Every structure is written in C-alpha cells, then in structure tokens.
C-alpha cells in the first residue's frame, strides 16, 4: 500500500491534467519521491533479501523529503515565526543526520523529528487562515487539503517513528509479527492522507 497510495494520487493528477506550478510543483515532487522511494526499497529488499543494510538510503531519503517539503512550505507560509521554526528544526536535524551517516544505526528518530516540524508547520498554516479570514472558501482551497493530508500523516505516524527503534531492537525484539502490524497502520494512514491529496487535486487552486 505504501507504493499504491502515492501512485494512485499521481495517476489521478495525470488523468486530470492539472497545471503543475508554484508551490504545488514541489508537493508533486514530494509525492513522486514517496512513490520512487517505496518502489526502490521494495525492489532492493527482494533482490538483496536483507543481506545488505538499506539504512543509508533511508537517511538520504528523509533529507530529500525535508528539502521538498520546505520548498513547498516556503510558498504557503511566509512569516518570521516560520523561519525561526525552520532554524530551530534544522540544527538537531543536521546533527541527527550526521550521526546516522556515521553510525548507520536503525533509527527513525530523524523521521520523528521531521514529523514534529511538519505538524507545527501545518498548525501555523491553520492559524494563519483562521486569524485572518477572507472570502475564500477554505474547503475549495488546494493548500488546505494538502496541509490536512500532511498533518494527518505526520501527526499520527510520529508515535510509530519515535518508538520503532525501541520496538524492533529493544524489549520486543523477537515479536516481529506484532511489529509488522505497526507498519500496516502506517500504510493505512498514508492511504488516508493520499485521499486528502486527491481532494486537493480536484480544487482549482
């Protein structure tokens, strides 16, 4: 499902022939990167049969996600508070990234940190819309549905990312069936967020 969900959104975008420009362009790149990452990871696991670690790929992927989302956020949220948040996030993000590259441990802490950053960005977007209401119908706003999908995914999966290391290499190390179900929940949340993205594509702007 982690491959099918973003692919469904991309196909919907293709068949609807929506113009891709501005901040929306960076969000489409983000969706494409999710699909490619999931597909490459699956192919790697099948061919490699888990003989070689793919952690380096996961680390690079997270950095790429952050870059694409930051470009999208720059178009939608322009404020001093938002820039300060980016700096506060960037410092621990760089430190964790360097540690990941040096030690190549199975850590989703960097994804957990990213989830906090994205969730706060989404909340600041909502605050901006609610504090300065306009005649715009927010339910017809493309960005509203995109931010809602991002908030749903990152706020809910935060607990999965931040505890995954503990559950896989900690006290529950031997219970892999149960751990697998945790990732199924992740894929379910991804699917629901992609439904929001499809709704966003239906909007004019």
Residues recorded for the chain:
205
State pTM to two decimals.
Answer: 0.88
Per-residue pLDDT tens digits for 80-126: 888 889 999 999 998 888 887 777 666 678 888 999 999 999 999 98
Number of domains in the chain: 1
DSSP state of 170: S
Domain span at residue 159?
A: 4-202
What is the spatial distance between Cα 93 and Cα 68, in angstroms, rounded to a whole number?
15
The predicted pLDDT at position 82 comes to 86
Task: Name residues whose C-beta falls within 8 Å of residue 163's C-beta, 6 or more positions apart in sequence.
Answer: none
The long-range contacts involving 168-172, CB below 8 angstroms and separated by at least 24 positions, are 168/106, 169/106
């Amino acid at each position: 499902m982690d491959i099918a969900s973003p692919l469904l959104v991309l196909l919907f975008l293709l068949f609807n022939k929506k113009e891709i420009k501005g901040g929306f362009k960076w969000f489409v790149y983000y969706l494409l990167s999710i699909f490619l990452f999931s597909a490459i990871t699956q192919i790697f696991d099948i061919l490699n049969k888990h003989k070689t670690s793919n952690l380096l790929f996961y680390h690079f992927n997270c950095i790429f996600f952050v870059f694409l989302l930051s470009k999208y956020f720059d178009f939608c949220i322009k404020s001093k508070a938002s820039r300060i948040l980016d700096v506060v996030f960037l410092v621990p993000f760089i430190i964790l990234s360097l540690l990941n590259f040096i030690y190549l441990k199975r850590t989703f802490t960097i994804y957990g940190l990213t989830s906090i950053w994205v969730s706060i960005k989404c909340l600041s977007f909502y605050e901006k819309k609610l504090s300065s209401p306009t005649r715009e119908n927010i339910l017809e706003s493309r960005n509203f549905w995109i931010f809602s999908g991002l908030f749903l995914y990152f706020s809910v999966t935060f607990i999965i990312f931040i505890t995954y290391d503990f559950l896989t290499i900690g006290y529950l190390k031997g219970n892999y069936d149960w751990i697998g179900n945790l990732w199924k929940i992740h894929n379910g949340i991804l699917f629901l967020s992609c439904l929001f993205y499809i709704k966003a594509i239906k909007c004019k702007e």
